[in-house]
Structure 1
Amino acid sequence: MIIHLIAAARPNFMKIAPLYHALNQAEWARPVIVHTGQHYDINMSDAFFKDLGLPDPHIHLGIGSGSHAEQTGNVMIAYEKILLKEKPRLVVVVGDVNSTMACTIAASKVVYTDLPEGSRRPVVAHLEAGLRSNDRTMPEEINRLVTDALADILWTPSPDATENLLKEGVPRQKIENVGNIMIDSLEMMRQKITGSGAFSDLGLSPNRYGLITLHRPANVDSPDILAALCRLLIAVSERTPLVFPVHPRTRKNLVAFGLLDGLQHAEKMVLTEPMNYVRFMNLVFNCQFVITDSGGIQEETTYLGIPCLTMRPNTERPITVDQGTNQLCTMESLEPRIDRILAGAAKSYHVPERWDGCTAQRIVKAIRIAMPSN
């Protein structure tokens, strides 16, 4: 059975890795990595394949950057051609980037005219289904809604995601809570992560620094908002060292708005280029807290028991707030919460069910049950 695993951005790569390895061990499965090229910087894509033990992508669409419509349309056009040539039986899309939605639409509409009626369209499975921020100003939320509406199989990472789908009227038989595959990747790479010297290479001490990741348009595209964030981060760095691997989008805006020099001259602020998964996670493992607007790191910090301060008004991963270490923050609330963390007042938490490193195995079993004759 040909199974396409769609990868476009860094979190996608981490999610397909354990599933690729698990499927590669099954005699009945032939996993094929399809890299859309949505993120093409070496530190944001190719390096992750090496870290995660993946082969070079079997198929590379080479789409690159562009507006949301350009990326979505170009991926659909390019992937439809691949579908008609390869005829995969199953297409697995992950996460919530433009490529996730685009490949779902293309696979849902394609017709294999030379196959029997029952095999005219490939089955689409969405890994990490059911996440909702309930904020349609976020492009990712539109991608999630469209993908989940069209996908045939919905693999959720947590019970709250399952409930979201049921409330939207999705039949229960299409849904399975398989757990959080990001934890599979983390555990698969734990030895390499702990053996990396990323934090010590930067002159940092364990549990004596904060880690920053910021890239969302709402935080970095406005000169006034980004300037206020920079002032806030510089103030926090006066309390404890901060390390900031700067996303390309964020760096571009810092330069354009004349804000980069201020960060570079802050005594306890360490700016770096984007890092590969192993080195970045070494920083996560050894930090005292994370300031972020990203999605996946909210889950990883909950699993690791590390305070996570998310600079967003909402999250598509509310279980990390309700049960985990995550807190949604504003400009006004960030410093007081960091002061409490530095004083040792950590938020109580517990790890959600099925965040256990066994998600890939559950998915392989689910595929075999769903398609026993293929």
Structure 2
Amino acid sequence: MQVIQEQLRDFDVTGFQENLVNWFLENQRALPWRESKDPYRVWVSEIMLQQTRVDTVIPYYQAFIREFPTLEALAEAEEDQILKAWEGLGYYSRVRNLQTAVKEVVEKYEGTVPNTREEILSLRGVGPYTAGAILSIAYGKAEPAVDGNVMRVLSRVFIIEEDIAKPATRKIFEGILYDLVSKENPSAFNQGLMELGALICTPTSPGCLLCPVKVRCSANQKGIQAELPIKSKKKKQTVKQMAAIVLKNQYGEVLIEKRPETGLLARLWQFPNMETTGMDDQRKLLSEFLVNDFEIGAEVGRAIQHVEHVFSHLVWNITVFEGQVKGRANLESETRKWVPTDSIEKYAFPVSHQKIIQHSLMDSSLA
């Protein structure tokens, strides 16, 4: 850190700020969340953009704001409603935390998103980056907002060789930004750093010829920009073999269940499924599973689909079977129910089970 402070003393901070801000104002992408400085809308966009591509977020953001245009609208919504609006974005704890935090803003701050770092960091799901983004973009405060793009840019500008995968490293970049962020236009400065990392200073093959701050980039001067930042590799993903069943009754209904209250994909709906091994007789296991867990004697048919879904730490390999049951097998509860196939899209499912719906219930040849 001492080396960085020495670099900053000799660094043309004003020139860097001017080059970056001017470049951003002239070249920024037209994104829907940039149409407003409303802190609620900035907040929603930043939560959506966590671990999700900009192109993916755009239609979700637009639909979400149409459905929940204000803090109050989101605070009052049913959880199933917000999960359905978030369906497909993944990392569903984000939207649950967002609603919890929004409720607190409505109750404690009379519907106004707080404008101090301490208060905004106290809200559920708001970390240092999100706090800095809201404070700088919505309120024009000179606060750091350190995401992956920002760490990559600054790693190259100052040749920082600390592992950016380590949480402690973020503190180094926050310290730099308190000295570096523009006091006149912190919104354009922080967004400019993020935009620069997204469009020019990319992880591989950075476009240094187009970079507005290349003359102030130490890594560029030494030709080592492709070697930075330093980032340790993630652990290998765990692969799970699973079997799921699209179980229909004679009334044109299909059986669904809600996932547990906590954990991965909590409280989303899914088709009955179980973990297996590659050597198992999955049809037999599904039959036993339905008897033991659902008290249903069903005819498990052929395998109709294979779904692979990749999480950051986990891979699901799901073999999907069709099944039929006579009668209705009375098991209605808050977490298990028969639903008409033409109403199933009212429920929020994880992406892997959306694929099952699309293949098995929306395809007229299989319905």
Q: Normalising by the residue count of structure 1, what TM-score does the alignment of the two structures yield?
A: 0.25
Structure possessing the higher radius of gyration over alpha carbons: 2
